[in-house]
Amino acid sequence: MNYRQSSARLAEYRRQIADLRTKMRETRAATEPEEVADYVFANCDGSVRLSELFGGKPDLIVIHNMGASCPSCTLWADGFNGVYDHLVNRAAFVVSSPDAPDLQRQFAAGRGWRFPMLSHQGTTFAADMGYRSRDGGWLPGISVFRREPSRILRVSDTGFCPGDDFCALWHIFDLLPDGAEVWQPKYRYG
């Protein structure tokens, strides 16, 4: 297949993906939200409730991060840092991990992260949201919440994995002749 034929076929696949995204948005809009508890998290200032994280906005995006021990979660967080101003223009945004607040602060400072971080250590938050594995480990993903006057609703969520829609790097690598091959994210590159 020549380059132009391949480009036309890929354009058609992208159109099909766009159509699927429209169907996904329609399904999400028709889904009844799930009421959740007003969880208490730890941060460097003490504790904070889920209801306090909205910062006057109706919506809150919470990233389920596996913590400083996960290079892939670090890669996603690096990307969120780059679009942080855009995110908080539309909704409140925080990253939650099982790490203690002091470790979070130190790790975030070393990466230049600007977004707020919370520790869900000692809570059932990650497990209740579906981000705890069967063997007790943590899982990466995202949950979106909406605050109403008397309750907090989870309106959507999805897990993260290499190649997902939440890290542009994978899609850029897809354009390389060999894709990402066996590439793995690292904390630093020599």
User: Is residue 63 within 8 Å of residue 95, measured between CB atoms?
Assistant: yes
Q: What angle separates helix 101-111 from helix 71-82, to the nearest 10 degrees? A: 60
First to last CA, the chain: 38
182 band by pLDDT with thresholds 50, 70 and 90: confident
The two three-digit tokens of residue 98, written as one number: 């099982």
Q: Is 137 helix (H, G, I), strand (E, B) or coil?
A: coil
Q: Model's pTM, two decimal places? A: 0.94
For residue 118, what pLDDT is reported?
98
Q: What is the mean pLDDT of the segment spanning 176-190?
A: 92
| pLDDT above 90 for 36 | yes
Compute how many other C-beta atoms are within 10 angstroms of the C-beta atom of residue 115.
16
pLDDT (tens digit per residue) in 55-67: 999 999 999 999 9
Least confident range from 67-71, 86-90, 112-116, 165-169: namely: 165-169
Distance of CA 20 to the CA centre of its chain: 20
Domains and their CATH numbers in the chain: 25-173 (3.40.30.10)
Q: Per-residue pLDDT tens for 74-107?
A: 999 999 999 999 999 999 999 999 999 999 999 9
**Burial of 14 per CB tally in 10 Å (0-12, 13-18, 19+):** exposed
